[in-house]
Protein backbone atom coordinates (compact mmCIF):
# COMPACT_ATOMS: atom_id res chain seq x y z
CA UNK A 1 0.00 0.00 0.00
CA UNK A 2 1.32 3.42 -0.83
CA UNK A 3 2.04 5.95 1.85
CA UNK A 4 0.46 9.14 0.53
CA UNK A 5 2.01 11.06 3.38
CA UNK A 6 5.56 10.45 2.16
CA UNK A 7 6.76 13.84 1.07
CA UNK A 8 10.11 14.42 -0.62
CA UNK A 9 12.56 16.16 1.69
CA UNK A 10 14.21 17.73 -1.33
CA UNK A 11 12.31 18.53 -4.52
CA UNK A 12 14.20 19.65 -7.63
CA UNK A 13 12.34 21.11 -10.61
CA UNK A 14 13.18 21.79 -14.25
CA UNK A 15 10.69 24.52 -15.09
CA UNK A 16 10.32 24.02 -18.84
CA UNK A 17 7.73 25.31 -21.29
CA UNK A 18 7.55 29.05 -20.64
CA UNK A 19 8.45 29.92 -24.24
CA UNK A 20 5.88 27.55 -25.76
CA UNK A 21 3.21 28.80 -23.36
CA UNK A 22 3.78 32.35 -24.66
CA UNK A 23 4.03 31.28 -28.29
CA UNK A 24 0.69 29.45 -28.03
CA UNK A 25 -0.79 32.83 -27.09
CA UNK A 26 1.17 34.67 -29.79
CA UNK A 27 2.95 36.67 -27.11
CA UNK A 28 6.68 37.35 -26.63
CA UNK A 29 8.55 34.63 -24.76
CA UNK A 30 9.18 36.89 -21.78
CA UNK A 31 5.44 36.85 -21.07
CA UNK A 32 5.80 33.09 -20.57
CA UNK A 33 8.69 33.63 -18.17
CA UNK A 34 6.61 36.12 -16.18
CA UNK A 35 3.79 33.59 -15.96
CA UNK A 36 6.48 31.10 -14.94
CA UNK A 37 7.43 33.33 -12.01
CA UNK A 38 3.81 33.11 -10.79
CA UNK A 39 3.98 29.31 -11.04
CA UNK A 40 7.12 29.47 -8.88
CA UNK A 41 5.04 31.16 -6.17
CA UNK A 42 2.37 28.41 -6.36
CA UNK A 43 4.99 25.68 -6.17
CA UNK A 44 6.73 27.34 -3.23
CA UNK A 45 3.45 27.75 -1.38
CA UNK A 46 2.58 24.07 -1.83
CA UNK A 47 6.03 22.93 -0.71
CA UNK A 48 5.87 25.10 2.41
CA UNK A 49 2.47 23.61 3.28
CA UNK A 50 3.73 20.06 2.80
CA UNK A 51 6.91 20.52 4.79
CA UNK A 52 9.38 20.08 1.92
CA UNK A 53 12.78 20.99 3.37
CA UNK A 54 14.61 21.95 0.19
CA UNK A 55 13.24 23.18 -3.13
CA UNK A 56 15.74 23.59 -5.95
CA UNK A 57 14.60 25.35 -9.11
CA UNK A 58 16.47 25.37 -12.42
CA UNK A 59 15.98 29.00 -13.39
CA UNK A 60 18.77 29.52 -15.91
CA UNK A 61 21.26 27.03 -17.28
CA UNK A 62 24.83 27.76 -18.28
CA UNK A 63 23.65 27.09 -21.84
CA UNK A 64 20.77 29.61 -21.62
CA UNK A 65 23.29 32.45 -22.08
CA UNK A 66 23.20 31.52 -25.76
CA UNK A 67 19.54 32.61 -26.14
CA UNK A 68 18.67 35.84 -28.00
CA UNK A 69 19.92 38.92 -26.12
CA UNK A 70 16.38 40.25 -25.75
CA UNK A 71 15.20 37.11 -23.94
CA UNK A 72 18.30 36.94 -21.71
CA UNK A 73 17.91 40.63 -20.85
CA UNK A 74 14.23 40.15 -20.05
CA UNK A 75 15.02 37.20 -17.80
CA UNK A 76 17.71 39.17 -15.94
CA UNK A 77 15.21 41.97 -15.31
CA UNK A 78 12.66 39.43 -14.11
CA UNK A 79 15.17 37.80 -11.72
CA UNK A 80 16.26 41.19 -10.34
CA UNK A 81 12.68 42.44 -9.92
CA UNK A 82 11.52 39.21 -8.27
CA UNK A 83 14.46 39.24 -5.86
CA UNK A 84 13.84 42.85 -4.99
CA UNK A 85 10.16 42.23 -4.29
CA UNK A 86 10.33 38.81 -2.66
CA UNK A 87 13.52 38.64 -0.56
CA UNK A 88 12.00 40.34 2.50
CA UNK A 89 8.84 38.23 2.27
CA UNK A 90 10.87 35.02 2.02
CA UNK A 91 12.82 36.08 5.08
CA UNK A 92 9.59 36.75 6.96
CA UNK A 93 8.40 33.26 6.08
CA UNK A 94 11.55 31.58 7.35
CA UNK A 95 12.99 30.64 3.96
CA UNK A 96 16.74 30.43 3.43
CA UNK A 97 17.59 31.55 -0.09
CA UNK A 98 20.62 30.16 -1.93
CA UNK A 99 21.99 30.54 -5.44
CA UNK A 100 24.05 27.89 -7.17
CA UNK A 101 25.92 28.30 -10.44
CA UNK A 102 28.49 30.65 -11.91
CA UNK A 103 27.21 33.97 -10.63
CA UNK A 104 30.26 35.84 -11.95
CA UNK A 105 28.45 36.03 -15.28
CA UNK A 106 25.63 38.14 -13.86
CA UNK A 107 25.79 41.93 -13.63
CA UNK A 108 27.41 43.38 -10.52
CA UNK A 109 24.01 44.75 -9.46
CA UNK A 110 22.31 41.35 -9.70
CA UNK A 111 25.21 39.65 -7.91
CA UNK A 112 24.87 42.19 -5.10
CA UNK A 113 21.12 41.46 -4.80
CA UNK A 114 21.81 37.72 -4.66
CA UNK A 115 24.43 38.18 -1.98
CA UNK A 116 22.19 40.48 0.05
CA UNK A 117 19.26 38.04 -0.13
CA UNK A 118 21.50 35.16 0.96
CA UNK A 119 22.92 37.19 3.85
CA UNK A 120 19.45 38.29 4.96
CA UNK A 121 17.98 34.77 4.95
CA UNK A 122 21.06 32.73 5.99
CA UNK A 123 19.79 31.83 9.46
CA UNK A 124 16.32 30.67 8.34
CA UNK A 125 15.48 27.02 8.86
CA UNK A 126 11.89 26.45 7.71
CA UNK A 127 12.90 25.72 4.12
CA UNK A 128 15.84 26.23 1.77
CA UNK A 129 15.00 27.60 -1.66
CA UNK A 130 17.96 27.01 -3.96
CA UNK A 131 17.91 28.79 -7.30
CA UNK A 132 20.14 27.26 -9.95
CA UNK A 133 21.14 30.21 -12.11
CA UNK A 134 23.90 30.13 -14.72
CA UNK A 135 24.15 26.56 -13.47
CA UNK A 136 25.38 23.44 -15.24
CA UNK A 137 25.90 20.02 -13.69
CA UNK A 138 29.10 19.39 -15.62
CA UNK A 139 30.45 22.76 -14.57
CA UNK A 140 29.54 21.90 -10.96
CA UNK A 141 31.59 18.69 -11.20
CA UNK A 142 34.47 20.40 -12.99
CA UNK A 143 34.68 23.01 -10.20
CA UNK A 144 34.64 20.25 -7.56
CA UNK A 145 37.48 18.47 -9.39
CA UNK A 146 39.43 21.72 -9.63
CA UNK A 147 39.12 22.37 -5.89
CA UNK A 148 40.41 18.88 -5.10
CA UNK A 149 43.26 19.31 -7.61
CA UNK A 150 44.25 22.56 -5.89
CA UNK A 151 44.35 20.77 -2.53
CA UNK A 152 46.56 18.06 -4.06
CA UNK A 153 48.83 20.67 -5.65
CA UNK A 154 49.24 22.37 -2.27
CA UNK A 155 50.11 19.09 -0.59
CA UNK A 156 46.97 19.10 1.56
CA UNK A 157 45.47 15.98 -0.02
CA UNK A 158 46.80 12.76 -1.54
CA UNK A 159 45.14 11.56 -4.80
CA UNK A 160 44.25 8.22 -3.19
CA UNK A 161 42.23 10.12 -0.58
CA UNK A 162 39.83 11.27 -3.30
CA UNK A 163 36.64 9.24 -3.19
CA UNK A 164 32.92 9.77 -3.87
CA UNK A 165 32.29 11.34 -0.50
CA UNK A 166 35.12 13.82 -0.86
CA UNK A 167 34.20 14.84 -4.39
CA UNK A 168 30.55 15.15 -3.36
CA UNK A 169 31.51 17.54 -0.57
CA UNK A 170 32.67 20.03 -3.20
CA UNK A 171 29.54 19.92 -5.36
CA UNK A 172 26.66 22.38 -4.99
CA UNK A 173 24.23 21.81 -2.09
CA UNK A 174 26.55 19.25 -0.48
CA UNK A 175 25.38 20.32 2.98
CA UNK A 176 21.75 19.46 2.20
CA UNK A 177 19.94 16.14 1.67
CA UNK A 178 20.11 15.12 -2.02
CA UNK A 179 16.98 15.51 -4.17
CA UNK A 180 14.40 12.76 -3.58
CA UNK A 181 12.18 13.78 -6.48
CA UNK A 182 12.96 15.62 -9.71
CA UNK A 183 10.06 17.01 -11.71
CA UNK A 184 10.37 18.26 -15.27
CA UNK A 185 7.49 20.05 -16.95
CA UNK A 186 7.10 20.76 -20.67
CA UNK A 187 7.12 17.20 -22.02
CA UNK A 188 10.82 16.55 -22.64
CA UNK A 189 12.30 13.47 -21.00
CA UNK A 190 15.82 14.55 -20.13
CA UNK A 191 17.93 16.06 -17.35
CA UNK A 192 19.54 18.86 -19.39
CA UNK A 193 22.72 19.19 -17.32
CA UNK A 194 20.82 19.74 -14.05
CA UNK A 195 22.34 18.45 -10.75
CA UNK A 196 24.05 15.50 -12.49
CA UNK A 197 25.78 14.28 -9.33
CA UNK A 198 23.04 15.09 -6.86
CA UNK A 199 20.24 13.35 -8.82
CA UNK A 200 21.92 9.92 -8.71
CA UNK A 201 19.08 8.33 -6.71
CA UNK A 202 16.28 10.84 -7.25
CA UNK A 203 12.92 9.63 -8.51
CA UNK A 204 12.20 11.28 -11.87
CA UNK A 205 8.73 12.54 -12.76
CA UNK A 206 7.75 14.12 -16.07
CA UNK A 207 4.63 15.95 -17.21
CA UNK A 208 3.67 17.48 -20.55
CA UNK A 209 2.14 20.42 -18.70
CA UNK A 210 3.94 23.67 -19.47
CA UNK A 211 5.54 25.35 -16.46
CA UNK A 212 3.25 28.44 -16.36
CA UNK A 213 0.26 26.05 -16.06
CA UNK A 214 1.86 24.04 -13.27
CA UNK A 215 -0.53 23.93 -10.35
CA UNK A 216 -1.30 22.24 -7.04
CA UNK A 217 -3.15 19.33 -8.66
CA UNK A 218 -0.16 18.40 -10.78
CA UNK A 219 2.20 18.74 -7.85
CA UNK A 220 -0.08 16.58 -5.70
CA UNK A 221 -0.10 13.95 -8.46
CA UNK A 222 3.71 13.98 -8.51
CA UNK A 223 3.86 13.64 -4.72
CA UNK A 224 1.33 10.78 -4.78
CA UNK A 225 3.36 8.95 -7.43
CA UNK A 226 6.50 9.56 -5.42
CA UNK A 227 4.90 8.14 -2.28
CA UNK A 228 3.91 4.98 -4.16
CA UNK A 229 7.38 4.26 -5.51
CA UNK A 230 9.79 1.92 -3.82
CA UNK A 231 13.23 3.44 -3.56
CA UNK A 232 15.81 0.69 -3.45
CA UNK A 233 19.12 2.56 -3.67
CA UNK A 234 20.65 -0.40 -5.48
CA UNK A 235 19.34 -3.06 -3.05
CA UNK A 236 16.79 -5.82 -3.73
CA UNK A 237 13.10 -5.57 -2.72
CA UNK A 238 13.63 -8.41 -0.20
CA UNK A 239 16.43 -6.52 1.47
CA UNK A 240 14.14 -3.56 1.94
CA UNK A 241 11.06 -5.46 3.20
CA UNK A 242 10.50 -5.16 6.96
CA UNK A 243 11.02 -8.42 8.86
CA UNK A 244 7.69 -10.27 9.52
CA UNK A 245 6.21 -9.82 13.02
CA UNK A 246 7.55 -12.28 15.58
CA UNK A 247 10.74 -13.03 13.64
CA UNK A 248 14.03 -11.75 14.84
CA UNK A 249 15.91 -9.58 12.42
CA UNK A 250 19.61 -10.31 11.86
C1 LIG B 1 12.55 27.18 -19.55
O2 LIG B 1 11.47 27.37 -20.44
C3 LIG B 1 12.57 28.25 -18.56
C4 LIG B 1 13.60 29.13 -18.38
C5 LIG B 1 14.82 29.11 -19.19
C6 LIG B 1 13.49 30.21 -17.38
C7 LIG B 1 12.82 29.87 -16.08
C8 LIG B 1 12.45 31.10 -15.41
C9 LIG B 1 11.32 31.31 -14.72
C10 LIG B 1 10.34 30.27 -14.41
C11 LIG B 1 11.07 32.69 -14.27
C12 LIG B 1 11.11 33.01 -12.86
C13 LIG B 1 12.06 32.27 -12.03
C14 LIG B 1 12.42 32.69 -10.80
C15 LIG B 1 13.26 31.82 -9.96
C16 LIG B 1 12.01 34.01 -10.29
P17 LIG B 1 11.75 27.59 -21.98
O18 LIG B 1 11.92 29.05 -22.21
O19 LIG B 1 12.94 26.77 -22.40
O20 LIG B 1 10.45 27.06 -22.62
P21 LIG B 1 10.28 26.33 -24.04
O22 LIG B 1 10.94 24.99 -23.91
O23 LIG B 1 8.80 26.24 -24.21
O24 LIG B 1 10.93 27.21 -25.07
CA-nearest of 58, 17, 75 to 193 is 58
16 is catalytic: yes
Q: From the candidates 64, 102, 193, 213, give the one annotated as an active-site residue.
A: 64
Q: What is the 132 CA–ligand 1 centroid distance (Å)?
A: 12
- Three-state DSSP at 204 gives strand
User: Which is the closest atom of ligand 1 to the Cα of 34?
Assistant: 11
Task: Tell me the pTM.
Answer: 0.93
Under the banding of pLDDT at 50, 70 and 90, the label for residue 160 is very high
Q: Is 15 in the pocket of ligand 1 (CB under 6 A)?
A: yes
Residue 193 annotated among the catalytic residues of the structure:
no
Contact in structure between 107 and 133 (CB atoms under 8 Å) = no
Residue 37 in contact with ligand 1 by CB distance below 6 A: yes
**pLDDT exceeds cutoff 60 at 28:** yes
Q: Band the pLDDT of 180: cuts 50, 70, 90.
A: very high
pLDDT in tens, 196-219: 999 999 999 999 999 999 999 999
The torsion angles phi and psi of 105, rounded to 5 degrees, stand at: -85, -10
For 76-102, write each residue's pLDDT tens digit. 999 999 999 999 999 999 999 999 999
Amino acid sequence: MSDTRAVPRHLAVIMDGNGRWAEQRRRPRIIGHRAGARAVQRCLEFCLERGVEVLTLYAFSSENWGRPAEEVGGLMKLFAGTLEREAEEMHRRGICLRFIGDRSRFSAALQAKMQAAEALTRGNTRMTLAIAASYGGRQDLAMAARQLAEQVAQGQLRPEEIDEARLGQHTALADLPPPDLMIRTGGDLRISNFLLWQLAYAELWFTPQLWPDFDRDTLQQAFDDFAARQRRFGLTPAQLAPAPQGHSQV
